[in-house]
Structure 1
Amino acid sequence: MVTSVRPWLTPTVARRLLSYELTRMVSAAGITHAAMGERLQVSRASFSQLLAGKSLPSRAVLEVVLGHLDALSELPRLADLLRLARSGPQTPSLGDRDLLCGLESYAHRIEVYDPLMISPLFGGGRRGLLLDAEQAPAVTWVVEEHALRRSQSGAHGERLRALRDTVTVQVLPWSRGAHAGLRGGFEVVHGASHTVVCEETRRVNLYHDHPAVVAEYTRLFATLRELALDPERSKVMLAKR
């Protein structure tokens, strides 16, 4: 079962991720909703609702869509998502984080930069189970020292100290001064077929998968790693929190 190794994939998250993946592939193929609807013998509006996640396709329709997109290699993964999306009632939504949680669940590598506060990925709870899963992604976390100090006490602090064994942590000390990363935190999620950057703002999450934008954030993350303490020195600092 998908959920045995991807504990954050609820029916709601699976539906959101399936919608994103199909929309991304249709857009990349340059096929209009009207043209795809005609191939499926449904209206443009019906196909648009399918892409938006307002309705779910049958497995047969999913296979036809992927065949037209020359993407049948994605059928096992998307069929798993479809099965999970249909497996139970819709659970409370996390809003714009639904997609991020879905992307994380299929990632093989995640890079996180936290300038002000600790990412929910590291705060325990159901989402934190991803880090303890059998097929957990390799995670590198660059965190500003002042963000770390805000979370140094209580159970949250214990959780952060435990991360030393599962996550590559690099603390960026405030003595480094101003740098480009201070404009905001972000997460780079490396999946099986593509990479997505997520920026969490006050009201919405912004998702970027254009190669040039992904490359820009990948370079920025590499720069932040160079500015930060190495993992061993970071572990020493984390142990003192």
Structure 2
Amino acid sequence: MPRPAGPPTVRLRRLAAELSALRADAQLTREQVEEQTGVNQGTLWRIEKGQAKPHNGTLETLFDLYGVTESRRTELIELTRGAKQPGWLAQFKDALLKEAIPEVYAAYIGFETEAKTMNTYESSFVPGLLQTEEYARAVMIDGWPMEADAVERRLETRMQRQIVLSQKRDGRDPLELWAVLDEAVLRREVGSRAVMRAQLGRLLEMGERPNITLQVIPFNRGAHPGMSGAFTCFKFGSLAPNIVHTESLAGAFFLELEADVERFGLAFDHVRAMALSPRDSGTFLAMLMTE
């Protein structure tokens, strides 16, 4: 079952995976860990699922049982210090901006900031990382009712997010983005014709970057797996297990089960196979701009 808003950060998920692997290497069940350390099975389960941040004392107890070296202990304890910090948003100086960001959105930004690769399929909107300021503002104003100040704060956040596509992050390369858009995204007039023309131009420009792949699924390609709704697959490499984000009127969800992640990964493989090639997608965008 999907878990609603408030998933753990990438660092907490990585720590959870590391602790689970250490217990497996020690060939211990959670029941045996409780018998030998007094750490409650339920607490250990939440720690290994990334649903609870362990105290240093609990970590040291587990490290002693698992036979963890000093250097490894230092590395894992360092993870706990940033385990609740959702990327750049945690350091953002504008307190009012933080208040305007729902918890699930903050978590999404954290995953976006930490991910190595992001594969996204959109059926209605241009992905936030590729939106112009005018398009983003129109989406917010014409969407759910929102105070003018909140719109501007949310808009500032969206524009700030886009730095992941152009700047190195803690020594790592910029985010690799692969976006597949249904033709409906490009045909829907958001804001005005001028706003959409500028947005199409932005997509053409961004599609030329080496770390961005952009594809379009034309209407004439027929039915495809993405018709069930938009989704995003975050891939973290060795940093943490992959995760999937989906969103609808029922709410936003992060899927972490391996079977779910594999299913959405397969769906993305299907939609990009059905889409126009990146080069033909650029031609398609240019054609729409002339209409």
Q: Which of the residues 99, 106, 116 maps onto 2:114?
A: 106
Alpha-carbon distance in 2 for matches of 1:20, 1:203: 25
Letter in 1 for 2:177: V
Matching residue of 1:149: 187
Q: Structure 1 residues 113 and 62 mapped into 2: Cα distance closer, same or farther (>3 Å)?
A: farther
Aligned residues: 226
Which residue number in structure 2 is paired with residue 162 of structure 1? 205
Contact map agreement 2:11 2:79 (CA 8 A) in 1: yes
- Pair 1:238–1:84, CA change in 2 (3 A): same
Contact kept in structure 2, 1:16 and 1:98, CA below 8 Å: no
Whether the 8 Å CA contact 1:26–1:69 is kept in 2: the answer is: no
Structure 2 counterparts to residues 67-146 of structure 1, below 5 A: 72=72, 75=76, 78=79, 81-82=82-83, 91-92=98-99, 93-123=101-131, 125-134=159-168, 135-146=173-184
Deviation at 1:178, TM superposition (A): 2.1
- Give the whole-Å Cα distance in 2 for the aligned partners of 1:98 and 1:225: 28
User: Residue 19 of structure 1: CA displacement?
Assistant: 4.5
Residues 9 and 111 of structure 2 are in contact (CA less than 8 Å); yes or no, is this contact kept in structure 1? no
TM-score calculated relative to the size of structure 2: 0.60
Of residues 225, 235, 238, the one that matches 1:180 is 225
Shift of 1:218: 1.5
TM-superposed CA distance for 1:18, in Å, is 4.1
- Superposition CA RMSD, Å: 4.3
Output the CA distance in 1 between the equivalents of 2:68 and 2:186: 46
Mapped pair 1:222 → 2:230: no
Which one has a bigger Cα radius of gyration?
A: 2
Letter in structure 2 aligned against 1:106: E
Which blocks of at least 5 consecutive residues in structure 2 are unaligned? 1-5, 132-157
TM-score, length-normalised on structure 1?
0.70
Tell me the SS of whatever aligns to 2:126: coil
Q: Which amino acid is 2:127 matched to? A: S
User: Does 1:237 pair with 2:284?
Assistant: yes
Moved more, 102-111 or 60-69: 60-69
Q: CA deviation at 1:207?
A: 1.7
